[in-house]
Amino acid sequence: MIPRTAQSDHVSMTHPQAAIDSDLRPDYIERMGENINTTFEHELKRLEKRVDALVRVCDKLQDENRSLKQRQDMLTSDRASLLQKNEQVRARVEAMVGRLKTMEQGS
């Protein structure tokens, strides 16, 4: 037989809501609340770390993107300069060839 003191703490399983709301279990409810708060705080910290990591990745990608755009602009400028020099050399070579042909015909 269950002693009287143990019976007063015993909550019937036929009414689970009564077990949760029971004045006989304030420690249980308080501990559950603490566990929920601890879990919530843990999840918040975990999410905060992930957001911070994402911000760092975004910053790094922005820096890299800026650097790549600068490099692309520089390479585009270099290419335009090389094309211009190539045209100048081509014109000079064609002029030399023309002078050589003229010299051959004059001899």
Provide DSSP, 58-76: HHHHHHHHHHHHHHHHHHH
Domain range list for the chain: 24-106
Q: What is the pLDDT of residues 36-89, one digit of tens each?
A: 888 889 999 999 999 999 999 999 999 999 999 999 999 999 999 999 999 999
A 10 A CB-CB count for 28 gives: 13
Question: For position 68, what pLDDT does the model report?
Answer: 98
Question: For position 36, what pLDDT does the model report?
Answer: 82
What pTM was computed for the model?
0.52
Which one has a higher pLDDT value, 54 or 12?
54
pLDDT band of 35, cuts 50, 70, 90? confident
Question: For position 21, what pLDDT does the model report?
Answer: 55
Q: Is 107 exposed, middle or buried (0-12, 13-18, 19+ CB in 10 A)?
A: exposed
The position carrying tokens 């019937």 is 12
Q: What is the pLDDT of residues 19-34, one digit of tens each?
A: 555 555 555 556 666 7
Question: For position 106, what pLDDT does the model report?
Answer: 81
Question: For position 96, what pLDDT does the model report?
Answer: 97
